[in-house]
Every structure is written in structure tokens, then in C-alpha cells.
């Protein structure tokens, strides 16, 4: 029996199992089995060569955004309008067969936009080259799920299910669970919050399913069984997602109002070029890009080329800014002067841990270089020998 058939068999068993207090341990074990099988499904077959056409393109710019959706929802048209890069668009499905990159120039930054082929139901199992599409989405900073406003809401649920099946968690934060394997000592289970979805016995059964018999487990929040399995797997990608509803010009105003009020959603029309500016602003807010301008000592700030920081790519502190300028600047820095919304007063004397905000101005003051003779005009050490016997004896005083 293949992996896909075994997954479907376990899913059927979970569907016909009643959910109550007596069956929660059995359901937890079945969830762990499915997670293990799906991990095996994503691994390349043994002995297979690395050949074959892939979709991966070189990272460029200050952020990467991937367009994911069903065929013929307007992904290629949206790429052409936002970047100016030509992507073939037609009335038939699967017009785009490979990954087409483009660059959005917005707020003095460069954001890479990827137009991916449309995926269908069963993409997590390899249908329609879905694995390559989802692999590129894992390397992105933001996912734009393009949906047809005139179609049913089931498309959004199908796409979310397919992405979660391969380890993509949309608009979720990593669970606060500490997990570490050990060589000996058994399983140590602790919690700092009351648990309602999982207990110590179920935790042991899931770990035994993974053949883990020595580990430390600490729950810092009321997590679920799925959260604990995600921590054990360790290959989950938590990524932000914006649901983009295209073709609002073919539906009524009531439907547009309902879609626009849903969380993490925005409505556009590529045909009439409606709401594209708000889509760019929403992308900017979700990616959390921070522009920082440098100010040389005694000169005006350089507002032409900002240093772009991001919490997802390194961080947004003064130390991260110094690493962007030069890797040795952190050692030579004495303090930094910061102007902007992150400073309590302008300028503010800050250290390496100061968190920077958008359009801040930073001036780095370096330490003064020491002379070989000592500090200033006073020597910090003597040139005399260390032993008294080796010192030069002075001549006796004349009487």
C-alpha cells in the first residue's frame, strides 16, 4: 500500500471515530501517524537524482511575495499590473507553466513578486506540479492567495488545507512549547499553563509514536495536539497570508462588502484597476519592512538609499543596522544617535538593542582609536622591567 493510500485510510478512520473523552488518545495517535506519512511524502524518493525542472529563482530585493491560487483567477494579470513584467494571460486554464518573477518598486524598496502556476485539489500529493509551487511559497516572506470573488468560499478552504498538509501555517504564530531530545533520563513533562486539549498520557503516546523515549517537554500555553505534533516535526513554516479577492466587478456590492470585512482579506479588480494601491499598502504593512537612513558625522542624512530591515530577515535593532553597513561596525561602535518615531527625544543616545521604526535616521559614533603609548598624554603602563633585579640601578648620591 502506498503512502497516499495509507493517509486516506487513516483519514477515513478518523472520520468515522466519534470524538469524546475516551477516543482522544486514539485520535491523537492517528494525527501523529498522518503527520509522519506526509513528511515522508514530501521527501524525494531514495536513489533519485537531483534532475528535473524546478521553479526556484534567485532571491532579489528586500522581500519576496508569492501568488498562489487556482487557475484563471488573475495571478498573471496582477503581476503584470504591479511589476510591469509580462506574464502571458489567456482565457484558458494553466496558461502559466513555470515561475515568473517580477519586481515591485514601492517606498524606495524592491519587493520580488512571483507568479506561480495554478494549483488544484490534491497539490500536496503531487498533482499538477503542486509540490514545486508550494516549495517556492515556503521560501517567501508573504503569500497572496488570489481568489475569484464570484466563486464559492470553498476554494479558500481547499487551498488552506493543501498548504497546511505540507507544513505551511497561514497567519499563525509558533506554539509556545519547548521540546528537546535527550539521550537518557526518560520523558520530562511540565507545564506553566492549564491544558485542556492534551495531557501527559497523550503526550507520551505521541512521542512513542515517533519512537522518542527521552525528551524534555514544557508547555507555556494551552496548545492542542496538532501544535505539539508541529513542534516535534520541526519543519513547519509560519507565514503571513493575505486573501486577495479578484473580479469584484462581476459581483454585487453586498458581496464585495462582505468579502472586504473578512479578516486578512482585500478586494481588487484587475480588469478595472480597482484598489491596487491599497493592496500594495497592505503588503507593506504585513511584511513589516523598516527603512533606516544613515547620517555621517557632520553631514546631512542620506535619504536616497535607505537600509531596509525586517523582523523576518534578521531584525530591526541598531545592531542589525550596523551589520547591514559593515560586519565590523558593531565592535567599533561607541553609541548611536537616533532621530525618528522610535526615539523619545531627538536625537536620542542609544545602544545596540534599540528597536528602530520606519524612516528613522541613525548616526553611529565610533570609539576613538588608542595610541600605542597609552591613553591621551598619560601612559597606562610603564616600560620598566617587571623584576626589581632587572631594573637599572641609579648612581649613588654625591656626598
Report in angstroms the alpha-carbon separations of 97 from 71, 88, 118, 129.
11, 10, 8, 9
Higher pLDDT among residues 97 and 14, named by residue: 14
Give 43-75 pLDDT, tens digit per residue: 655 544 444 445 667 788 888 998 988 888 888
Greatest C-alpha distance within the chain: 117
Q: Quick one: which of 76, 164, 62, 148 has its CA closest to 116?
A: 76
Enter the DSSP assignment of 107.
T
The three cell numbers locating residue 198: 492534551
- Which of 117-131, 219-233, 248-262, 333-347 has the weakest average pLDDT? 117-131
Give 88-143 pLDDT, tens digit per residue: 665 545 555 678 888 999 988 999 998 887 776 665 555 655 667 777 778 889 99
Q: Does 151 score more than 60 pLDDT?
A: yes
For 293, residues 6+ apart whose C-beta sits below 8 A from its C-beta are 301, 302, 303, 306, 307, 359, 360, 361, 362
Enter the DSSP assignment of 95.
-
pLDDT band at 29 (very low <50, low <70, confident <90, very high): confident
pTM exceeds 0.85: no
pLDDT at 395: 78
Give 167-180 pLDDT, tens digit per residue: 888 999 999 999 99
Q: Which residue has the cell 493575505?
A: 242
CA angle 206, 162, 222 (to 5 degrees): 40
DSSP bridge partners of 144: 67, 242
Report in angstroms the alpha-carbon separations of 245 from 67, 121, 159, 252.
12, 19, 14, 13
The three cell numbers locating residue 62: 528586500
pLDDT at 45: 54
Q: Does 319 score more than 50 pLDDT?
A: yes
pLDDT at 246: 92
- Which of 127-131, 213-217, 228-232 has the weakest average pLDDT? 127-131
Average pLDDT, the chain: 83
Which CATH architecture does the domain made up of 63-172+237-286 adopt? 3-Layer(aba) Sandwich (3.40)
Domain boundaries, the chain: 26-39+175-233, 63-172+237-286, 289-366
pLDDT at 52: 46
Fold classification of 289-366 (topology level): Ubiquitin-like (UB roll) (3.10.20)
pLDDT at 54: 52
The SS3 of residue 155 is helix
> Residues of the chain with pLDDT > 90: what percent?
31
pLDDT at 43: 64
Enter the DSSP assignment of 334.
E
The three cell numbers locating residue 9: 485510510
Rounded Cα distance, 10 and 5, in Å: 9
Amino acid at each position: 500500500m502506498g503512502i497516499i493510500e495509507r493517509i486516506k485510510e487513516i483519514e477515513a478512520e478518523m472520520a468515522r471515530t466519534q470524538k469524546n473523552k475516551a477516543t482522544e488518545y486514539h485520535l491523537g495517535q492517528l494525527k501523529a501517524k498522518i503527520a509522519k506519512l506526509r513528511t515522508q511524502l514530501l521527501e524525494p524518493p531514495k536513489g533519485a537524482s537531483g534532475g528535473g525542472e524546478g521553479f526556484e529563482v534567485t532571491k532579489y530585493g528586500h522581500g519576496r511575495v508569492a501568488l498562489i491560487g487556482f487557475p484563471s483567477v488573475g495571478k498573471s494579470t496582477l503581476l503584470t499590473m504591479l511589476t510591469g513584467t509580462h506574464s502571458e494571460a489567456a482565457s484558458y486554464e494553466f496558461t502559466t507553466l513555470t515561475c515568473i518573477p517580477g519586481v515591485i518598486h514601492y517606498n524606495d524598496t524592491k519587493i520580488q513578486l512571483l507568479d506561480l502556476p495554478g494549483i488544484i485539489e490534491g497539490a500536496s500529493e503531487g498533482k499538477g506540479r503542486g509540490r514545486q509551487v508550494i516549495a517556492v511559497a515556503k521560501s517567501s516572506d508573504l503569500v497572496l492567495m488570489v481568489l475569484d470573488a464570484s466563486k464559492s468560499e470553498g476554494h479558500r478552504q481547499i487551498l488552506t488545507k493543501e498548504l497546511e498538509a505540507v507544513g505551511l501555517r497561514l497567519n499563525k504564530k509558533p506554539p509556545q512549547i519547548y521540546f528537546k531530545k535527550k539521550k537518557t533520563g526518560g520523558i520530562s513533562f511540565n507545564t506553566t499553563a492549564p491544558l485542556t486539549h492534551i495531557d501527559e498520557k497523550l503526550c507520551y503516546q505521541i512521542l512513542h509514536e515517533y519512537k522518542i523515549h527521552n525528551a524534555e517537554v514544557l508547555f507555556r500555553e494551552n496548545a492542542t495536539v496538532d501544535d505539539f505534533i508541529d513542534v516535534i516535526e520541526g519543519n513547519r513554516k509560519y507565514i503571513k497570508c493575505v486573501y486577495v479577492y479578484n473580479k469584484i466587478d462581476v459581483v454585487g456590492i453586498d458581496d464585495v462588502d462582505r468579502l472586504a470585512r473578512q479578516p486578512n482579506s482585500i478586494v481588487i479588480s484587475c480588469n478595472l484597476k480597482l484598489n491596487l494601491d491599497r493592496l500594495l499598502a497592505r503588503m507593506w504593512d504585513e511584511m513589516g519592512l523598516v527603512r533606516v537612513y544613515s547620517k555621517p558625522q557632520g553631514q546631512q542624512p542620506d535619504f536616497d538609499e535607505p537600509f531596509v530591515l525586517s523582523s523576518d530577515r534578521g531584525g530591526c535593532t541598531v545592531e542589525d543596522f550596523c551589520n547591514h553597513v559593515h560586519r565590523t561596525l558593531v565592535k567599533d561602535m561607541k553609541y548611536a544617535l537616533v532621530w525618528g518615531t522610535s526615539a523619545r527625544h531627538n536625537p536620542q543616545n542609544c545602544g545596540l538593542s534599540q528597536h528602530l521604526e520606519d524612516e528613522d535616521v541613525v548616526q553611529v559614533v565610533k570609539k576613538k582609536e588608542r595610541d600605542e603609548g597609552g591613553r591621551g598624554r598619560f601612559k597606562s603602563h610603564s616600560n620598566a622591567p617587571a623584576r626589581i633585579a632587572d631594573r637599572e640601578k641609579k648612581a649613588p648620591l654625591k656626598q
